Amino acid sequence: MDHNYTVRKQGETVFQNIPDKGKYVELVHSGEDYFLRLEKLIDKAEKEIHLQTYIFENDETGNRIAACLKKAAQRKVKVYVLLDAYGSAALPDSFADDMVQHGILLRFFSPLFSLNNFYIGRRMHHKIVVADEKIALIGGINIANKYHGTGAAEPWLDYAVQLNCPAAENLQKLCSDYFLKKGSSKKISPVLHSAGSALVGILQNDWLQRKTEVCDAYTTALINAEKEIIIVGSYFLPGSRIAKALKKASKRGIKTTVILAGISDVPLVRRATEHLYSYFLNHHMQIYEWNKSVVHGKAAVIDNKWSTVGSFNLNSLSCYGSIEMNVEIHSVEFAKTLRTEFEKVISECSEITNGTLRQRASIFNKLGNWVSYQIVRTTMLFLTFLPHLRFLKN
């Protein structure tokens, strides 16, 4: 049996057929849900595994997943691990050497110092695991205890999607290209694969390679929103394109809700975001703060029919600096599942209102937020300027 998939180009849609290889799309939560699925995916792999992540830590969770990968390599499964050189800089050499000695093909993306450059602007920020071109996990969850949680601490609030559909084949191709430095990923057009009643697409954002698919998809979805927008946003500082789209949506009367960090691993960014709360409220956005753990999720659902989950933060660094990857899902069923999850989170959040802001409106708090905003915006401009310099050089 064949099914359709859609190749989307600028102003053009092309329909083609590929063999049916599965029809499953599932929302995955940070914590044991994600890591049990990850272990199962690795244990059942028969030929090839690609794991690409920003952070891989030498802790209980990191060692647990490393042990699974080493067992897979001993079964003669080809195991490729690509880690960001900055995000995983704390990983000991002995840890990496042990993985290599067990047959794992390990590479660090873009070391900070090389013969050609000192270059921190463009980081590999996506979080992907895919096995045998059949099953994949894609989202915002790194390999570390804080994403798993402990007896004393909740896992960071984050999400992934498990794909058991032809999109996994597309995803493995992209991972292979990044690991082997083929560079052909920039030539791959975004594709919508059938997955039962859903359409599933893998979106890249890599400005240096002229890939802005995640940013474009967000902007288009916001512009076309008809009823409701709900966003979970860590490090939420939308750039001009997305900010304008959100502003236009509010003018059209679209109900817009954002779930933001009450607790953040980067307090400076959280305070910079709080500096914008008055602007958001003046544009009729509803703001909720999650205070049970760090908010690290990057997900959205619009009009109960379009959803996205991945590594892409709504800020300039994700738009113009880092390499990001999201999954977009056109499905009423999945959108309802994600929206139900967001409603549960909102029920455990604190709502931010103008009254809340008045309670926080001490001169020191307002000044601290303003200074934080200026520092963060300046830093992001600098970090996104570096990839632009490299682009011009190339």
Q: What is the pLDDT of residue 148?
A: 96
Strand 191-195 and strand 159-164: the pairing is unpaired
- Can you list the pairs that 131-134 forms with residues at least 24 positions away whose Cβ atoms lie under 8 Å? 131/41, 131/42, 131/44, 131/45, 131/48, 131/49, 131/50, 132/45, 132/46, 132/47, 132/48, 132/49, 133/48, 133/168, 133/169, 133/172, 134/21, 134/22, 134/164, 134/168, 134/169
Same domain? 245 vs 138: no
Q: What is the pLDDT of residue 278?
A: 93
Query: Considering its fold, how many domains does the chain have in total?
Result: 2
Average pLDDT over residues 163-183: 89
Calculate what percentage of the chain has a pLDDT beyond 70.
87
Q: What is the pLDDT of residue 24?
A: 84
The answer to whether residue 202 sits within a structural domain is: no
CA distance 140 to 131: 18
The answer to whether residue 385 sits within a structural domain is: no
Tokens of 141: 């969850």
Does 205 score more than 80 pLDDT? yes
Q: What is the pLDDT of residue 207?
A: 82
Question: Which residues on adjacent β-strands are paired with residue 2?
Answer: 19
- Give the lowest-confidence range in 7-16, 111-120, 327-336, 380-389: 7-16
CA distance 353 to 15: 47
Q: What is 220-283 written as a DSSP string?
A: HHHHT-SSEEEEEETT-B--HHHHHHHHHHHHTT-EEEEEEESS-SSHHHHHHHHTTHHHHHHT
Same domain? 38 vs 121: yes
Structural domain containing residue 166: 24-189
Please give the backbone phi and psi of residue 306, each rounded to the nearest 5 degrees, phi first. -120, 130
Average pLDDT over residues 371-386: 82
Average pLDDT over residues 112-125: 62
- Give the lowest-confidence range in 13-22, 206-215, 382-391: 13-22
The answer to whether residue 11 sits within a structural domain is: no
Same domain? 145 vs 218: no
The answer to whether residue 390 sits within a structural domain is: no
Strand 48-53 and strand 127-131: the pairing is antiparallel
pLDDT tens digits for 208-237? Answer: 788 899 999 999 999 999 999 999 999 999
Average pLDDT over residues 18-24: 45
Please measure the distance between the N-terminal and C-terminal CA atoms of the chain and give it in whole angstroms.
45
Average pLDDT over residues 370-385: 84
Same domain? 137 vs 226: no
* Nearest in space to 79 (alpha carbons), one of 47, 44, 37: 47
> Where are the extended beta strands (E) located within 74-153?
78-84, 105-109, 127-131, 135-139
Same domain? 85 vs 214: no
Record the pTM.
Answer: 0.88
Please give the backbone phi and psi of residue 48, each rounded to the nearest 5 degrees, phi first. -150, 135
Helix (H) or strand (E) holding 372, with range, is: helix 363-393
pLDDT confidence bin for 260, thresholds 50/70/90? very high
Supply the CATH number for residue 175's domain: 3.30.870.10
Same domain? 230 vs 176: no
Last residue within a domain, chosen from 124, 158, 189: 189
Q: What is 135-153 written as a DSSP string?
A: EEEEES--BSHHHH--SSS
Same domain? 166 vs 220: no
Q: What is the pLDDT of residue 115?
A: 44
**How high is the mean pLDDT of the chain?**
87
Same domain? 360 vs 234: yes
Same domain? 124 vs 230: no
The answer to whether residue 86 sits within a structural domain is: yes
The answer to whether residue 12 sits within a structural domain is: no
CA distance 141 to 53: 8
Same domain? 170 vs 295: no
The answer to whether residue 311 sits within a structural domain is: yes
The answer to whether residue 195 sits within a structural domain is: no
Question: For residues 191 and 6, is the Cβ–Cβ distance under 8 A?
Answer: yes
Average pLDDT over residues 356-385: 87
**Crossing angle, helix 60-74 and helix 32-44, to 10 degrees?**
10
Same domain? 282 vs 364: yes
Same domain? 260 vs 317: yes
